[in-house]
A and B are shown apart, each in its own frame.
Chain A
Amino acid sequence: MSAIDTLTSPSRLGALDTLESESIHIIREVVAEFERPVLLFSGGKDSVLVLHLAAKAFWPAKVPFPVLHVDTGHNFPEVIDFRDRTVARLGLRLEVAAVQDYLDDGRLQERADGTRNPLQTLPLLDAIAAGRHDAVFGGARRDEDKARAKERILSLRDEFGQWDPRNQRPELWDLYNGRHTVGQHVRAFPISNWTELDVWRYIEREGIELPPLYYAHEREVYRRDGMWRAVSEVSPARPGEHVERRTVRYRTVGDMSCTGAVESDAASVAEVVREVATSTLTERGATRADDRISEAAMEDRKKDGYF
Chain B
Amino acid sequence: MGDALFRFATAGSVDDGKSTLVGRLLHDSKAILADQLESVARTSAERGFGGEPGAIDFALLTDGLRAEREQGITIDVAYRYFSTGRRSFILADCPGHVQYTRNMVTGATTADAVVVLVDARKGVLEQTRRHLAVVQLLRVPHVIVAVNKIDLLAYAQSAFDTVAADVTALTRELGLPEAHVIPVSALAGDNIVARSANTPWYTGPALLELLESLPSLDELETELEALRMPVQLVVRPQGALAPDVDAESYRDYRAFAGRIASGTVRVGDEVQVFPGGATTTVTGIDAGAVQLDAASAPQSVSLRLADEIDAARGAVIAASGSLPTPRRELEAALFQLDARPLTPGARVLVKTGTSTVQALITAVHGRRDLATLELQPADRLDANDIGQVALKLSAELPVEPYAEHRRAGAFLVIHPQDGATLAAAIVTPPAA
**B window 16-49: CB within 8 A of A:** 33-36, 39, 43
- A167-221: which residues lie under 8 A (CB-CB) from chain B? 168-175, 177, 179-181, 192-193, 195, 197-198, 201
Closest chain A CB from B421 CB (angstroms) = 5
From the candidates B83, B289, B296, B352, name the one contacting A11 in the complex (CB within 8 A): B296
Q: Please, which residues of chain A bring their CB within 8 A of the CB of B299?
A: 10, 13, 17, 21
A90 beta carbon closer than 8 Å to chain B = yes
CB neighbours of A195 from chain B (8 A):
81, 83, 88
The answer to whether A172 touches B106, judged by C-beta atoms less than 8 angstroms apart, is yes
Interface centre among B63, B77, B286 (most CB of A within 10 A): B77
Set of chain B residues within 8 Å of A59, measured between Cβ atoms:
235, 242, 245, 286, 288-289, 302
A136 to chain B, nearest CB (A): 17
B426: nearest chain-A partner, CB-CB: A173
With a cutoff of 8 Å between Cβ atoms, the chain B residues found around residue A146 in the complex are 62-65, 78
Are B407 and A150 touching (Cβ within 8 A)?
Answer: no
Contacts of A148 in B (CB 8 A): 64
Distance of A146 Cα from B36 Cα, bound (Å) = 10
**What residues on A are CB-neighbors of B224 within 8 Å?**
1
Q: Is B424 an interface residue (CB 8 A)?
A: yes
Shortest Cβ distance from residue A293 to the other chain B in the assembled complex, whole angstroms = 12
Within 8 A of B (CB), among A60-92: 60-64, 89-91
Bound together, the chains give a CA A280 to CA B35 distance in angstroms of 8
Contact status B223-A2, CB under 8 Å: yes
B324 beta carbon closer than 8 Å to chain A? no
Evaluate contact between A5 and B223: CB separation under 8 angstroms: yes
- Select from chain A the residue with minimum beta-carbon distance to B295: A10
Residue of A2, A25, A195, A197 with most partner-chain B CB within 10 A: A25
Q: Which residues of A contact B418 (CB under 8 A)?
A: 181
CB proximity of A159 to chain B, nearest CB, Å: 14
Chain B residues with CB under 8 Å of A296's CB are 65-66, 69
Least Cβ–Cβ distance between A180 and chain B, in angstroms: 6
CA–CA, A104 and B188, complex, Å = 58
Chain B: interface size category? 35 or more
Convert A139-153 into 0s and 1s, putting 1 for each residue whose CB lies closer than 8 angstroms to a CB of B. Answer: 000110111111000
The residue on B at minimum CB distance from A91 is B243
The answer to whether B64 and A149 touch across the interface, beta carbons within 8 angstroms, is yes
Q: Is B1 an interface residue (CB 8 A)?
A: yes
Which of B2-10, B113-121, B155-163, B193-201 participates in binding chain A? Answer: B2-10
B395 at the binding interface (Cβ < 8 Å): no
- The chain B residue with its CB closest to the CB of A196 is B81
Contact A165 B65 (CB under 8 A): yes
Given A8-B294, A62-B241, A90-B242, A282-B35 contact (CB < 8 Å): yes
Contact B4 A14 (CB under 8 A): yes
In the bound complex, residues from chain B placing their C-beta under 8 Å from that of A91 are: 243
Q: Which residue of B lies closest to A23 (CB)?
A: B300
With A and B bound together, what is the CA distance between A241 and B307 in angstroms? Answer: 70
Contact indicator A175/B410 (Cβ below 8 Å): yes
Taking CB as reference atom, which chain A residue is nearest B352?
Answer: A175
Is there a chain A Cβ closer than 8 Å to B90's Cβ?
A: yes
**Any chain B CB within 8 A of the CB of A24?**
yes
Which residues from A are CB-within-8-Å of B296?
9-11, 13
Whether A299 lies near B81 (C-beta < 8 A) is no
Q: Please, how many residues of chain A have a CB less than 8 angstroms from a CB on the other chain?
A: 76
CB-CB < 8 A to B78: which residues of A? 146, 149-150
Q: Closest CB of chain B to A222's CB: distance in Å? A: 21
B278 at the interface (CB under 8 A from A): no
Contact indicator B223/A6 (Cβ below 8 Å): yes
Is the pair B69, A282 in contact by a Cβ cutoff of 8 Å?
no
Binary A-proximity of B297-319 (CB < 8 A = 1, otherwise 0): 11110100000000001000000
Q: Which one of B2, B66, B110 lies within 8 Å of A299 (CB-CB)?
A: B66
B34 touches A280 (CB 8 A): yes
Which one of B83, B233, B236 has the greatest number of beta carbons of chain A within 10 Å? B233
A21 contacts B235, CB within 8 Å? no
- Known: A1-B224, A175-B412, A181-B419. Is A15-B88 also a contact (CB below 8 A)? yes
Question: Is the CB of B80 closer than 8 A to any CB of chain A?
Answer: yes
In the bound complex, CA of A172 to CA of B297 (Å): 18
Instruction: Tell me if A170 and B106 are in contact (CB < 8 A).
Output: yes
Q: Are B410 and A172 in contact (CB under 8 A)?
A: yes
Question: Are A173 and B110 in contact, with the CB atoms below 8 A?
Answer: yes
Cβ-based interface call for B322 (8 A): no
Which chain B positions have C-beta within 8 A of A97?
Answer: none
Query: Which of chain A's residues have a CB closer than 8 A to the CB of B67?
Result: 166
A1-35 interface bits toward B, Cβ cutoff 8 Å, 1 = contact, 0 = none = 11001101111111101111110110011011000
Sample (6) of A-B pairs whose CB atoms are under 8 Å apart: A10-B294, A10-B299, A20-B300, A24-B259, A31-B233, A175-B351
User: Could you list 9 further interchain pairs (A-B, Cβ under 8 angstroms) beyond the known A11-B297, A150-B77?
Assistant: A9-B222, A21-B299, A25-B258, A59-B235, A60-B235, A145-B64, A156-B419, A180-B419, A281-B34
Q: Which residues of B contact A (CB under 8 A)?
A: 1-5, 33-36, 39, 43, 62-67, 69, 75-81, 83, 87-88, 90, 102-103, 105-106, 109-110, 218-219, 222-224, 232-233, 235-237, 240-243, 245, 250, 253, 257-259, 264, 286-289, 292, 294-300, 302, 313, 337, 349, 351-352, 354, 406-407, 410-412, 414, 417-421, 424
